[in-house]
Amino acid sequence: MPRLTSAERERAIGRLEAGDTPEAVAATFQCHISTIYRLLQRFVITGSTADAERSGRPRVTTPRQDRHIFRSHVAHPFTTAAETARTVIGTHQAPISRQTASRRLRFRGLRNCRPARGPVLTVRHRQARLHWAQGHLNWNNVRWQNVLFSDESRFCIDHADGRVRVWRRSGYRYADNCVVENNAWGGPSLMLWGAIGHNQVLGPVIFQGLGPGPGNGVTAQRYMDQVLHPHVLPFFQAHGNWVFQHDNARPHTARATQDLLHRSGIQVMPWPALSPDMNPIEQFWDLLQTQLNRVVPRPTTVADLDRAVRQALTNILCVSVCLSVRVCV
């Protein structure tokens, strides 16, 4: 963000004295509001808008090198500031420091944040999403209010916040080059199921009888015994005009599951593969994961993770009551 010139600083003080708010002045000169507040504080204390005296130490990078640092991180956001610093030779004939590279990037409006994480999407998946969206384009609010969205989510012991960082500008969180595509799996964990609709919440349900070994996860039988029979079927017996949504996981598409839903007269919404971002229940899982990331010390056993998940659900329940959102545990 460019610095204000001496003439602009005088005009800014004049507008403030005329009654304009610091927010309006900052928007006029396209600078941060803290710049205007510091300028006003300096004027009140010293009676002048002149810049404070500086050490006079020369910059270790040239404008050309600053542009190189910025463009390299825009093209490759996952490059760290330390890696860039080792490739730029400053005026002292040595690589610049990591702090210098970080300051140059922040000055250009880049932020060092955790990358967004998404599934690995192919052209076939993107076309299926588009076809699904076109088929439901004319649905009104009444039809969407009668959809019960459901999903499972796995919470692992090592629910670290991710040490990979990406340099990005504000508003570019979901840019293709700022997203890490992965299919997460592995480690001792808990599997939760939940469903939400208009003023309706089912679960969350913590699956029982799951083990760490391969093939000992959620099966069609466990899905029917622990989710459909005790939760979904009673709900649709009381609300017959609703539509049930679940994804294309193997327990959902198994013949036994489909036969049970068909015999019960439950209408199931077709769903494109690898499309968790179109399911509104993902916001609940994100809130639960945020609560788990704040647990100190981190859970080291499945029992500790179970207690942490239940405590996080209790915290979410308290917040939801304040927001008039009913969450049943």
DSSP structure string for 99-150:
HHHHHHHHHTTEEEEPPEEE----HHHHHHHHHHHHHTTT--HHHHHTEEEE
**How far is residue 123 from each of residues 117, 120, 176, 231, 246, measured CA to CA in Å?**
18, 10, 14, 36, 22
- The runs of H, that is alpha helices, within the chain are 6-17, 22-29, 33-46, 63-75, 81-85, 98-107, 123-135, 141-145, 220-223, 233-238, 250-253, 255-263, 282-293, 302-322
pLDDT in tens, the chain (329 residues): 567 888 888 888 888 888 888 888 988 888 888 888 888 888 888 888 887 776 667 788 988 999 999 988 888 888 888 888 888 998 888 899 999 999 899 888 888 887 877 777 788 888 988 999 898 888 888 889 999 999 998 887 754 444 678 888 888 877 888 887 765 544 567 889 999 888 888 878 888 877 665 556 789 999 999 999 999 999 999 987 899 999 998 999 999 999 999 999 999 999 988 777 788 888 888 888 888 888 888 787 888 888 888 888 888 765 554 333 333 33
Give the pLDDT confidence score for residue 215 in this predicted structure.
58
The DSSP bridge pattern shows strands 116-118 and 179-181 to be: parallel
Give the pLDDT confidence score for residue 242 in this predicted structure.
93
User: What does the chain come to in residues?
Assistant: 329
Report helix, strand or coil for 283.
Answer: helix
Give the pLDDT confidence score for residue 154 in this predicted structure.
83
Give the pLDDT confidence score for residue 324 in this predicted structure.
36
Give the pLDDT confidence score for residue 319 in this predicted structure.
52
Give the pLDDT confidence score for residue 329 in this predicted structure.
35
Give the pLDDT confidence score for residue 188 in this predicted structure.
67
Owner of token pair 């490739």: 87
User: Rounded to an integer, what distance in angstroms lies between the CA atom of residue 179 and that of residue 173?
Assistant: 8
DSSP 230-262: IIIHHHHHH-TT-EEE----HHHHSHHHHHHHH
The residues, any chain, with a CB within 8 Å of residue 158's CB and separated by 6 or more, are: 187, 298
**How distant is the alpha carbon of residue 43 from its chain centre?**
41
The residues, any chain, with a CB within 8 Å of residue 309's CB and separated by 6 or more, are: 155, 190, 192, 206, 288, 292
Give the pLDDT confidence score for residue 166 in this predicted structure.
85
